Copies of this chain bind each other. A is one copy, B any other.
Amino acid sequence: MHNKTLTRADIEALEKMQRTRLINCLSGYKSANLIGTRDEQGNENVSVVSSVIHMGSNPPLLGFIVRPRKVERHTLDNILSTGSFTINAIALDFAQQAHQTSARYPKEVSEFNAAGLTPHYEDNISAPFVLESPLKMALELREHIIINSNDTEMVIGEVVHVSLPEQAIMPDGYVDLEALDLVTISGLDSYHVTQRVHRLSYAKPNKALFPLTKEGEPSSWRVLAPD
């Protein structure tokens, strides 16, 4: 295959939307989540976000990036004023509804209604969950960081509630995201399903890796293979 090399000048010279689409693909596959919030008047907001990342396990922290754009400020404003938000994993059967929440609705319009998603509440948690999601989390705001390089902002929250089908939790703690039919995003608009190749054993110097089943056991095809 013929290789293409882009220098900084080549990237700058790209047409604006072409550059945006290309750069948005470079990080690789992205998580697909809906963030649910509510303002102090009770107006609900839900927004598709592809930048949620793991920040740490103890305490359990997740973070995401807020772009300096109008439509997404509702989410940030609500989190800063209430301290509460939900993260709801996107499954294949409502990925189109989830994508529709990226349209720029006025603040008084609930994206739940506009996109055909169902708000769901749990005791002691003020932000709305997305009922359709098989993996729902509630978070409390822990940190808000301004990124000076491009005026984006990072929100970090602590997970205080997790709800998911019990069968998806493997004995060693691993969660089988494929059992939940979760999708992954590439670029701005491409949705993908996945197929597990294998889990891999914990890497140590001078020790060969071996494949694991989704339950975290040494893979049987390896046990059966000749030495």
Contacts and interface: CB of A to CB of B under 8 A. Distances in A.
Nearest to A114: B205
A92 interface: yes
Interface stretch (A78-86, A99-107, A219-227): A99-107
Contacts of A63: 147
Nearest to A25: B175
Interface in A16-45: 16-33
A14 B58 CA distance: 11
Contacts of A14: 173
Given A1-B166, A1-B167, A173-B19, A53 B26 contact: no
A70 interface: no
Interface string A171-183: 0111101100011
Contacts of A2: 165-167
A205 B104 contact: yes
Interface string A39-81: 0000000000011111111111111010100000000000000
Contacts of A150: 55-56, 58-59, 61
A156 B61 CA distance: 19
A52 B65 contact: no
A193 B203 contact: no
Contacts of A135: 26
A137 to B, nearest CB: 6
B209 A198 contact: no
Give the top 10 A-B pairs by smallest Cβ distance, nearest first.
A28-B31, A21-B173, A18-B173, A25-B175, A29-B184, A1-B165, A192-B194, A103-B203, A4-B166, A23-B57
